[in-house]
Amino acid sequence: MSQAAATSMSSPSTVAPTDSSIDDAKNHAASTVNATATNSLSDSSEFQLPNTVVADAGVVIIGAGMAGSRLAIELARAWQSVDSNDALSITLISKEPQVGYNRIMLSPVLAGEKEFDATYLYDKSDYKALGIHVIAGVAVASIDTQHQRLTLDDGQVLSYAKLVLATGSTAKVIPFPNHDAKAVHVFRDLADVTALTEYAKQGKTGLVIGGGVLGLEAACALAKQGGKMTVIHVDDYVLNQQLDLPAAELLQAELARRDVGLEVSAMSKSIEVNDAGDVTGLMMNDGRRIPADFIVMAVGVVPNTVVAKDSGIEVNRGIVVDDCMHTSAPNVYAIGECVELNEELFGMVAPVNQQVDTLVTVLSSSKESWQPYVSKPLSLKLKVSGVSAFSAGQIAFDEAERDEVETIVYRQLDSDHYQCLYIKDNRLVGAVLYGEVTEGGFYSQLITEQTDITTVKDDLIYGEAYCDLQALQEDDVALVMPKQAESDSVAKNNNTLAVTDSADEASSEQLKEVV
């Protein structure tokens, strides 16, 4: 990619930033006062400087979540690996007292299966060994991009050579009446886990609004801790963005076995409270009242763009960046759930990690060595309270497409093992797996590469071992058939296998009729 391409913005209204070199950045930093810090991850008193003193913080990363903490570690390692004397200092700022933990692991913490300490991505010693300065429990109040300074909410002023916004996302809250009652929570951080666990251990009745991954995780975890839980979902079935109906029905049956209630096609209207402000229930659009002692909103997230927008940095739905993670301001970058690139937002680990890798090359090497971010089709591997599911490609189709889509369905009658492949023009366009997901990577590859599956379609549902395309083309099928094939062929007699003419026919009830 050319220099111009690497620095141009994806939006025509954005002013392309001009990146100063590391040497220029160091010259800028040399004009400020150096400050040192201890490396406690939860002590916000690390930088105790007079408010009138500007501390040189080198590369400043705002946000110490999965993206920000990983960037700090990987950038420090990159500079350390080349033994560079030109490397800038790295300062990591965390609004939360806890630094660099894996939010995905909050679900087993909520369920009482893991301790919170198990969620940390790195040890405190890792930051210390790499010379990373950590400021915890302090938020950024404002950014002055013209003078390359930022002010913290405790009055500290830091000068930066390079600034990275890794501010993540904020949980959505539906603003209907009484949404701010004291027993209404989101599921986002350790404080939420602590409060919700207390409700559950008291055996209280809880409602989770939202039948996505996070909502189901929260409901199952709280039920395991003793809460009487029900999920309220606006659509026809849970995980409707990731699963087809048959897979969702299996998951819903599993929820019932775990004593988690479910209300689908249910629209919430308002939260009911008593005179003391305590939650007593949820009012529905159809006039029903569902009793509750506490409510969890798990209805998605929005990019956290407030500090960027207030600083004059271009923001649309997220902080607008180019493929090398530049924002509209010179020497300011952004990564993770807070960014928007080519009108795309990001909420999964894989693309966020890729953005981190891109920015490490931008901040640690010459432009010829930069590795621009390239958006890739994503598959989604879910583990909802121990139940595995996988989704890739297109699994929902409009009226015009449905007659053109062929489905191949595999179902084990004696276990919750379900697979559905969606095929169009002899190419795999989508896949849903439930229970057993080991073939997910293989199907994802076929979807991404748009491989012609004509020669292997009859065996495609049984997985990669039966579908080595190269071996089949060489008429050497015997080499790819595992020894397990004989026992598998017997097992097939106890399973459901159906090829249908349209996506509409792929439901568990209809499968029984086909067989």
> Could you list the residue range(s) of the whole structural domain that residue 475 is in?
379-514
pLDDT the model gives residue 495:
43
Per-residue pLDDT tens for 444-495?
Answer: 999 999 999 999 999 999 999 988 766 544 533 443 444 344 444 434 433 4
Domain co-membership, 31 together with 60: yes
Per-residue pLDDT tens for 72-107?
Answer: 999 999 998 876 667 789 999 999 999 999 999 999
Domain co-membership, 291 together with 341: no
pLDDT the model gives residue 399:
87
Domain co-membership, 10 together with 109: yes
Domain boundary among 369, 400, 420: 369
Domain boundary among 273, 299, 325: 299
Q: Does 259 map to a domain?
A: yes
Q: Is the pTM of this model over 0.85?
A: no
Task: Please say whether the beta carbons of 321 and 287 come within 8 A.
Answer: no
Q: Does 178 map to a domain?
A: no
Q: Does 175 map to a domain?
A: no
The order of strands in the sheet holding 33-34 is 33-34, 54-56, 157-159, 149-152, 140-144
Q: Does 176 map to a domain?
A: no
Q: Would you give per-residue pLDDT tens digits along the chain (515 residues)?
A: 333 333 333 333 333 333 444 444 444 444 433 333 333 344 444 433 344 446 777 999 999 999 999 999 999 999 988 766 677 899 999 999 999 999 999 999 999 999 999 999 999 999 999 999 999 999 999 999 999 999 999 999 999 999 999 999 999 999 999 999 999 999 999 999 999 999 999 999 999 999 999 999 999 999 999 999 999 999 999 999 899 999 999 999 999 999 999 999 999 999 999 999 999 999 999 999 999 999 999 999 999 999 999 999 999 999 999 999 999 999 999 999 999 999 999 988 989 999 999 999 999 988 999 999 998 877 888 777 778 999 999 999 988 888 899 999 999 878 889 999 999 999 999 999 999 999 999 999 999 999 999 999 999 999 999 887 665 445 334 434 443 444 444 344 334 444 443 344 444 333 332 22
Q: Which burial class, exposed, middle or buried, applies to 4 when counting CB atoms under 10 A from its CB (0-12, 13-18, 19+)?
A: exposed
* Local structure of 6: helix, strand or coil: helix
In sequence order, the 6+-apart residues with CB closer than 8 A to the CB of 150 are 60, 62, 140, 142, 143, 144, 157, 158, 160, 163
Query: How far is it, in rounded angstroms, from Cα 495 to Cα 411?
Result: 6
Domain co-membership, 260 together with 114: no
Give the 3-state DSSP-derived string for 138-165, with helices as H, strands as E and coil as C.
CCEEEEECCCCEEEECCCCEEECCEEEE
pLDDT the model gives residue 56:
77
pLDDT the model gives residue 471:
54
Q: CA 236, 239, 242, 245 torsion: positive or negative?
A: negative
pLDDT the model gives residue 20:
42
Domain co-membership, 149 together with 220: no
Domain co-membership, 143 together with 63: yes
For residue 415, the tally of other CB atoms under 10 A from its CB is 11
Query: How far is it, in rounded angstroms, from Cα 323 to Cα 6?
Result: 7
- CATH of residue 387's domain is 3.30.390.30
Number of domains comprising the chain: 3
Domain co-membership, 306 together with 160: yes
Q: Does 56 map to a domain?
A: yes
Q: Does 179 map to a domain?
A: no
Q: Does 350 map to a domain?
A: yes
Structure tokens at 147: 């003078």
Pairing mode of beta strands 294-297, 289-291: unpaired
Domain co-membership, 252 together with 332: no
Single-letter amino acid code for the residue at 473? Q
pLDDT the model gives residue 484:
45
How distant, in Å, are the alpha carbons of 185, 207, 294, 303 from that of 291?
16, 9, 9, 32
Domain co-membership, 24 together with 111: yes
Tokens 């207030």 belong to 310
- CATH of residue 62's domain is 3.50.50.60
Domain boundary among 313, 344, 369: 369
Domain co-membership, 205 together with 322: no
Ranges of beta strands (E only) in 80-209 are 90-94, 132-136, 140-144, 149-152, 157-159, 162-165, 169-171, 184-186, 205-209
Q: How many CA atoms lie within 13 A of 281 on its CB side?
A: 7
Task: Please say whether the beta carbons of 349 and 341 come within 8 A.
Answer: no
Give the whole-number percent of the chain exceeding pLDDT 70. Answer: 80
Nearest to 427 by CA among 403, 454, 465: 454
Q: Does 194 map to a domain?
A: yes
Query: How far is it, in rounded angstroms, from Cα 256 to Cα 260?
Result: 5
Domain co-membership, 446 together with 471: yes
Domain co-membership, 396 together with 505: yes
